[in-house]
Chain A
Amino acid sequence: EVQLVESGGGLVQPGGSLRLSCAASGFIFSGPYMHWVRQAPGKGLEWVGRIRNKANGYTTEYAASVKGRFTISRDDSKNSLYLQMNSLKTEDTAVYYCGRENYYVDVWGKGTTVTVSS
């Protein structure tokens, strides 16, 4: 069964850092590009960014709202995707989902909740 499981969410103070993980199983993780998407409480979906595969240099793209603060990485040997979040703001409070790309995101994790509050 194809599965993505996010972890690492929690409560963090403004200005702090947090690292989210996404564990993949049921498919060859090294192939697809991978995405992070977030959803603030009661709001819609917001694309955070994506990372390409090794053949495409593990290059990344980010939404303007997180560029320079968030970093997406992956460890194909561990079938894992990561989201390093620095300089967190209250507006980063959201459920964070990872997703597998097949041109579009076709598989989603259940999400992990990040709360940025003092």
Chain B
Amino acid sequence: SQTIHQWPATLVQPVGSPLSLECTVEGTSNPNLYWYRQAAGRGLQLLFYSVGIGQISSEVPQNLSASRPQDRQFILSSKKLLLSDSGFYLCAWSVRRGERDTDTQYFGPGTRLTVL
């Protein structure tokens, strides 16, 4: 069966510090991968998605970036964190089959980031 991992689970960082959040998927190959952010009391906002190694699409202009160095690894980074980067970050994956992406996204346990 497929599983998705995220770490760290929680993180407290000062303003201006760098960030690296990691997401890995097991039990599948060539998945679509996604990074979402959920601010307090709000819904989910898609930040980045990737359909393959080295292929990253950004949905929201910001000081965050994403990379996919391996097929099942997705990393969210920042060189300098802002207060507004605080939130709950969720990674998700979905299966790709032929010309039609499968529809369902499965989420990881998330990382709670607090920027002070």
Partners in one complex: no
Seen from chain A, the residues whose Cβ lies within 8 Å of a Cβ on chain B are: none
